[in-house]
Each structure stands twice: as C-alpha cells, then as structure tokens.
Chain A
Amino acid sequence: MRSLLRHFLWAPVVLCAAISLQAQDTTRTMEKVKVTGFKKKNPFDDRLPAQSLSQQTLQQVNAPTVGDAARFFSGVQVKDYGGAGGLKTISVRSLGASHSGLLYDGIPVSDVQSGQTDLSRFSSNNLQSLDLYQPNPSVSLLPARAFSSGSVLAMYTPSFNVAALTRNRWQAGVRNGSFGYWQAFGGAAWILPRNTILSFYTEGVSSEGDYPFTVINGNLSEKTKRNNSRLRSLQGEINLSKQFRDSSSLQLKAWSFVSKRGLPGAIVFFNDRSVQQLYNRDYFVQTRYVKSISENTSLLIAGKFNHAYTRYRDPDFLNNSGGLDDRYRQNEGYLSASVSQAVSQNITAALSADFAYTTLHANKSNFAKPSRWSNWDNLLLSYADSLWQVQGSVLWSYFQDETKRNNASVSRNKFTPAFSLSRKLGLRSPLMLRAFYKEVYRMPTFNDLYYNFIGNTSLRPELARQYNFGVTYSAHAKGTAGHFSASVDGYINRINDKIVAVPSQNLFVWTMLNLGKVDIKGVDVTAEAGGAFGMITWNARVSYTWQQARDITDPSSSSYRDRIPYTPDHSGSGILSVAYRKWTAGYSAVLSGTRYTIGDNSSFTQMDGWGTQDVFVARNFSLKQLHLQVKAELNNLADRRYDIINLYPMPGRSYKIGFTINQ
C-alpha cells in the first residue's frame, strides 16, 4: 500500500504545481501554436459539454491510438485489454459502449454487428484534433445520425479543413518501443490546380506485445510474458478535396485498415495456451459536400459505403472441423442530407435526414443473415444572442430488420427530444451556465438480436435519459497573462431496458435480455491552462470524474444498488508540458479508483485502483526547410502492474523513441 500511495502522490504534486505556476502572471506574450487555421469553437464556451485534444497534445501524450487518447477525457472509461493489439472501447458517462457515436471527418462510423467500434484501429498520429461531445456537437449542420447517441467522439484529420493548406507538405517518421513495437508513417498533401488538394496518409504498426507480467496465484505466482499478442496493422487514407467558385466544397475520402493480431486472452491459472487470431479488413469511401445556398441557407450532403470483414480463428476449438474459423462481412450504405436556415438574426432552424442500409453475412450454419433499414430525421430550432444559446430538437428514429433465416425483430421507431441552453453571466463575464436534457434510443445490435443461440429477437431498444447541469469558466487574457479555462458538469443518466448478457443454461451459454435499469450520477471536471514565464511556455490539462452508476433493476437481487462493473467512483488524468527554445518535455498521468468486476459488489469482486505516469522529452532541429524532431518517451515510469479488465494484464514500464521529419 505504501508504495502504491507513493505512485499516486506523484500526480497531485505535479498537478498542483501546474496550477500554482499558472497563477504567476508572466510578462511574455503566449501565442497558441496553430498548426493550421483549423477553426473550432472553444470547448469551454459551448452550450453542450465538449472536450478537445489538439494535435499538439495528442503528440505529447502516450496515445498511439484514439482508444489510448480517450483516457484523457473526463467522463470516459476505456475498456483496454492490454498492449498494442488489445481491443479498446469506451463508455461515456457509464451509458455503455453502444451509446457512444463516432464521427470521422464529420461522417458517422458505425458497427451494427457489435454496436461498439474498436478504437485501437484509429491512429491518433494523423489527427488534427480529437473531440468528445456530450451528447453531440453543437453545430446545426450535422447528419441526423450524429444526434442519435449519448455522446460523440469526433476525429478530425488535416483533410477536414483544406483551406488551411498554403503549400505542399509532406511528413515521414518512425518510432520504436519496448516489446517489439515499430511504427512507420508517412503522408503528403499537394495543392493542385483549380483549388484541388490531394493528400494521403499511411501508417504501419508491428508489435510483439510480449510484455512481462505476474500471474498472481498465492505460492504458485510466477513471472511470465504475454504470448500470442503480436499485432500487424496497416492503415491508410487518400483524400481529394475541391473548393468551388461558389465557395461550396467537396471532399472525398477512401480509408482502409488491415490487421492481424493474436488474442492472448484472459490469464488462466495453469493454462497459458493461446492461439486465437483476429483478422480485420475494413475500408470505407465517404464524401461530403457543403454549400451555402444563400447567406442564410446552408446545405450538407454526405454519403458513405463501409465494408468490414472480421475473421476469428481458434484452431484449438474442439469441434469436428479442426477449429473455429468465423468470418463476418458487414456492409453499409449511408446517405445524409442536412439543411440549415437562419430564420432571423437570432434564430436558426435545421433539418437533417439520414438513411442507412446494413447487411451482415457470416459463414456459420443457421446464421440469420440480418439486414437493417435505418432512418433518422432530426429537426432543430436554435436561438442565440450575446448571452443566451437555446436549442430544442426532436429526432425520429426508425429501424426495420429482415433476416434470411429465423425471425427478425419487429420494426422499431420513436421520437426522442433534446433540449439545451446556456447563459453567460454577463457580456464580459468568463462564466457561463449550461444545461441539457436528451433522450437516446439505442436499437439492439445484430449480435444482441441474432447471434446463434445467444441472440434474442424480442429485445426492446434501450432508452437512456440524460440530464446535465454545468458551469464553465474561460479567460483568455490579452498581453501578458496566460489562459485558463475550466468546466464542471453534474449529470444524471437513467437507462431503461438495458440490454445485458446473462448466463442461461450454464456458464458457457449466455443469452441477451432487457434486464437492466441503471441510475447514473456523476460530475465531470475539466481544466486547461497555459502561459509563459521567461523563455519557458507551458500548458496543463486536468480532468477528473466522479460517478456512481448503480443497478436499480430488481430490489430483491443481490446486486441491487450495487455499482455496475468496471465503473470506478473516481478517475482522472493530468497533462503538463513545457517548451524551452527547441526543447519540449511533458508529464502525463491517468488514474482510476477501485471498481468491481461484476454487478455483485463485494471485496472479492473489487479490483485495485491504478495509476500510470508517462514522461517525454523532444528536441526539434531545422535543416533548411526541413523540420526534424527526435522524441523519447518513458511510459508507466513507476512500472505499475495493473489490470483494467480483470486478468488482462497491462504493460509495465516501457520506452519509445521516435524520429519525424516534415516539410
């Protein structure tokens, strides 16, 4: 316990130092580094809770993928199965992974099969910013589907805002780290005639993931290494964008991800055999057209085709055909149209309509082969003046399933309202109060409904109600002082008809049921500060989450009012970075309190809290027009051994060295 305490005490010391440093007013002007002219709303000045990690921050924390970066947002719990190849999914404000939406350059990413996208497949290296919105971005011109989830994690690549590109650019780099980690990447953007820009980015990752850990089993505990955790992945995208004379713009993106990884599985005492493999081959093409029809009217049209191929191979599976070799092919076509109309100086109305058609094929016998028509229509009305921002909206969701075999779910539809408002305390006041209410209707996934034996076609959709009250503070001092922004949001969420898997005949056979009612209360705190003293500039970010998500399904159950699994009461993160001439250095920490492995809370199902700390130092060099950077990272520097998911050990101390060059 004492050594554990020492690990945790580190963090507050550094974080408090960051706060007090920032209190000292400095005499130098602090310019925020702007890599491009990518313009966004200040997240601390928004009607809806929003958090943002800039490219600069993403490069400074130990976050090779979006799944790793999401740990730094308040309100987010990342389920991480460990290592570079470990699956990573997020639950925002305890609503569950299926309630978090994803946008890639403004267009939804979906997975109707499982309802949750593995965030380890999106590299953070090519992102201009990673934003988290609760419940959705506050802009009006948005696809209707972006209004359909409890939160939205939005990834923006440099190609989202091509106006920022003023000359041809290219970049390349390589990183090497512990446990056989190699990452190589490269990209370029060319300005072509007629306001056309062509760009590409590609990245390959190879990792053995054979990090050491200890099997903790009394006097038979042993030190060993993860095996079957090798990852090979390759991703890439090509973008073509064109700005037309009438100031409308068209973007076209082709994206692809290919990977092969071992699934090392949970630690099992006396059995370290692990041969399961997961293969992914995904691609999508998407297009986005934005046009201002008049001064008051804007139009957004988007389309996408997505293909996801998943293969799960278990040669040890004891069937008569030499193991398991499951292959799933999911296809989705998607169309969206939105129009926004300024009705008066203060009032805007917007209407969006989205359609998607999704199919799932599998090589399993008796597989249902489901397909789904989805339709979302969203109507919103917003009012804004210098003090008030008010928005009301209503979303219509409609789902109709068909199956080739067995029964299909009946069609489902619902109107769900949302309402939000904010008020600045004064025209020059840095303080703003905000509140929102939103209902979220979550259709069961194909796995929930149609998975052989486990699926249950009579499942009802989940209904979540979100209430949020918050206050934000945002001060950007001109001249000598730095900036400080903070937000505190309290929230209450209620989930009805929560879909849970329960063991049925025995521990091997589970089934899906609408079992749950969950009562969630929480507070998210986020603060950012920056400044300069002397030649040293610094930036700090702190997030903290308090939440209690309790199962209130059945008063007679032993888990009644117990906490839902893997949801700590306290969690948080901190980032501090300093720059001096050509040097930058930083420290970051992620912390989590105790949590429970199952809904039945007891000291035996409780897991230790954990905390990791990372440091880095980087040096920039200029060679004529070339910019070089050499960066060294030491991650989990206290070598904390911990599990996020029970019996899935996480890596201990590791290093990474990177070299990038760009022009």
Chain B
Amino acid sequence: MKTTSLLIALSLFVFVSSCNKDDNPAPETPEVTTGLYVMSEGNFSGSNTMLTYYGFSDNKATTDYWNSVNGSGLGGVGNDILLYGGKIYIPMNVSSNVTIANAFTAKLISKIEFTDPASGAKREPRYAVGYKNKVLVSSSDGTVAVIDTTSLTVDKWIKVGANPDGLAVSGDRLYVANSGGYNPVFDSTLSVVDLNTMAETQKVKIGVNPGFVAADNSGNIYVACGGNYADVAPSLVKFSTATNSVVKAADTAIGKIRYYDGLLYATGGYFGSKNVRTLSTTDFKETRSNFVTDGTAIINPYGVNIDTETGDVYVTDAKNFVTTGEVFCFDKNGKKKFNFSVAPAVGPNTVVLIRQ
C-alpha cells in the first residue's frame, strides 16, 4: 500500500513537472536594412503564418519577425507577399484578409477584410500584383479586388471565373487563371481584364485547372495548368496577348513559374521534377534540367523568386509542409551563395527583396 501511494505520488510529481511547455527566449528585433522577407504559410488550420526577415548586413534570419514588430501573429495561410510602393501586401487565405504593412519596418498599416457582405462568406484571397496606383488581388470566390494604394480601400470587386488563382499584368490588361479547383470538374479559362475599365472583357480557353501565371516583357503570358489528376496531364501554356491566342502548349508538370531574362524558372510541384528547371520561352525545352549546379540538395522546392538586379535565384524549400522550411540563394549559374532556416516557420512560399 505504501509503495503504491509512493508510486502514485512520484508519478504525479513527474507529471506536474512535465506539464508545461518549454520556454522560448524572446527573439531580438533587428531593424530592417537591406535583406529579404520570407513568407511562410504555416499549416492549413494552424494560424501560424510567419514572416522572416533576413538581413544581408549580418546574415541573420529572424522568424517570426511580424510578431516581434507588431506583437501578434499574422493568422492563417499567408499565400503570397507583394512588395509595391513601399508597402507589403499579404493575401491571408484562411484568415481572409489582405494585410498591409510598411515595407521598411514591417509595421502593420491596415488589414482589409475579404468577406462577401451579402452572404458573410469569406473570399479567401490568393495572389497579388501591382498596377499603377492599384494592387490587384485574386480570391477563390471568383473575384479580383482592386485595392487603391493610397486610400487602402477596395475600389471594386471584379467578377472573373471560378476559383481564380495566379494572375499577371501585361500592358493594360490583367490575366487571371480560373482554376475552378473547388469544383468536381475544373475550370480551363484565363480571364482577360481591361485595367482601364477594371472589367473582364473575355475568357480564353487555356487548359485544364490553370494555376500559376507569369508574364514576360514581350507580351506573352505563361500559365501552369495542373490537369485533372486523372486523364488530363499537367501542362504549360504560352498565351500571346498580341494575337490573343495560345501559341504553345506542352505536357509538363509545373508548380510555380517565373520569367527572368529570356528564361522560365519552374518548380515541379507534386507531380513534376524535384528540381528547379529553366525552360526556353519558345519551345519549352529544358535549358537546364536542374538549375542547381553545385549539388545542393533541396527536398521540396515550393517557391522560386529572382532578384532582377543581380539575377540571384531564391528557392524556398517547404520540405514536407509540416516540418520547418529553409531558403536557398543561388547565383545565376546555380551555385549556392547562402541558405538559412526559417524555423519555426512552416511552408515558406515567397521571397521578396528589400533595399534601403
């Protein structure tokens, strides 16, 4: 009996001493000088989106920089980050707002609710691009929001197709990929929006389940189509804004795609190559089947961003989307310059450069 009570007392002691979580020291908050912001989306229902600041002066990464500056978290699934006119715009997909901050301090300026006032349903914003004094944000509810960069209010909700995803500006027109990803049968169209009237002018058939979109500087739009996971394979489609038609399509699986200096930089997504590839803009042939030339291993290249001043290529490694991610920087020849962990952030998807 005595031994039993001793055993129980002992186990409860062990228990009490193990019932609280380890303490984390509060991170220091460095000033933003020249460096990078990394957006990590977190887990789907985890409200653990984080912003990392990486300073070039001391080569130090500070995650969760947003929280250190603003004293609270960003929320659920930061899908993208856009640096535009001294501000950063963060489409928060699950929290359903666009969070706007000063790009040089990361201090919150405003949060725009993305809620349909009629139904109360959340719009679920996805990606953002800038055009003149507007920022355009696609949302899964079939709209593109036109945010005025001065008043920071939404001028207009442009109606496009089903579950729009990636978007890109070419000339005075906006091209939005209508994925239809929430439906049993996916959408296959690209919405063309006239940016003078801020209205959709047409929908062009582009390929099943269009996702990420990139524009080059000679009037072409590149669309990564996901296929239907059954009989239609993923493809890459080139659309000419001059002729308003598809000029090239090829079966290849692509997650995200960027255009830089005459080449396309593509991640493979789940079905495609595990390497970042570079593709020719004309025939989509691989100019390099692995952009990385020094043997650096990346588990799951989720995002790719290019510094247009230096040609440096940033690749975010989301690993298995559950464990903490990593960011790699390569020179234009594919040799690693540096890498850093964004721990404890999960799912890094986008890198933006900040210079001051």
Contacts and interface: CB of A to CB of B under 8 A. Distances in A.
B116 to A, nearest CB: 9
Given A218-B67, A316-B122, A544-B11, A606 B321 contact: no
Contacts of A559: 323
A270 B111 contact: yes
Interface string B40-74: 01011111000000000000000000010011111
Interface in B297-356: 302, 319-324, 343-344, 347
A269 B120 CA distance: 17
A608 to B, nearest CB: 5
Contact of B44 (A1, A22, A508, A525): A508
Contacts of B302: 506
Nearest to A607: B21
B320 A271 contact: no
A484 B19 contact: no
A570 B5 contact: no
B289 to A, nearest CB: 21
B235 interface: no
Contacts of B180: 320
Interface in B2-32: 4-5, 7-9, 11-16, 18-24
A608 B11 contact: no
Contacts, number: 201
Interface in A301-318: 315-318
B94 A316 contact: no
B344 A604 contact: yes
A603 B41 CA distance: 19
A380 B18 CA distance: 43
Contacts of B76: 268-269, 271
Interface stretch (A120-128, A205-213, A594-602): A594-602
Most buried by B among A265, A544, A559, A599: A544
Contact of B344 (A502, A506, A602): A602
A41 to B, nearest CB: 22
Nearest to A20: B5
A527 B19 contact: no
Interface in A600-653: 600, 602-611, 646-647
A12 B13 CA distance: 8
Contacts of B243: none
A4 B4 contact: no
A81 B149 CA distance: 42
A19 B1 contact: yes
A570 B72 contact: no
B120 A4 contact: no
B75 A23 contact: no
Contacts of A218: 67, 70-73
Interface in A285-342: 315-321
A570 B15 contact: yes
Interface residues of A, number: 79
A320 B183 contact: yes
Contact of B75 (A20, A268, A505, A610): A268
Interface in B171-193: 180, 182-185
Contacts of A569: 18
B15 A318 contact: no
Contact of B124 (A318, A558, A646): A318
A280 to B, nearest CB: 22
A268 B18 contact: no
Interface centre among B14, B15, B72, B226 (most CB of A within 10 A): B15
B173 to A, nearest CB: 25
A544 B94 contact: no
A505 B254 CA distance: 11
Contact of B182 (A319, A544, A571): A319
A273 B21 contact: no
Given A219-B71, A270-B111, A569-B18, A647 B46 contact: yes
Contacts of A315: 121
B220 interface: no
Contacts of B215: none
A569 B18 CA distance: 8
A325 to B, nearest CB: 12
Contacts of A572: 11-12, 15
Contacts of B278: none
A365 B22 CA distance: 48
Given A269-B76, A599-B322, A19 B46 contact: no
Interface in A9-45: 9, 11-12, 15-16, 19-20, 22-23
Given A12-B12, A503-B321, A647-B46, 19 more contacts: A15-B12, A219-B71, A221-B72, A268-B45, A268-B95, A318-B182, A319-B182, A365-B185, A502-B322, A505-B226, A525-B7, A527-B8, A558-B323, A572-B11, A572-B12, A591-B12, A598-B43, A602-B343, A609-B15
21 contacts: A12-B8, A12-B16, A16-B5, A19-B4, A19-B5, A20-B5, A23-B1, A267-B47, A269-B73, A271-B95, A273-B122, A320-B162, A505-B255, A506-B270, A525-B7, A525-B8, A542-B8, A546-B11, A591-B15, A593-B15, A594-B20
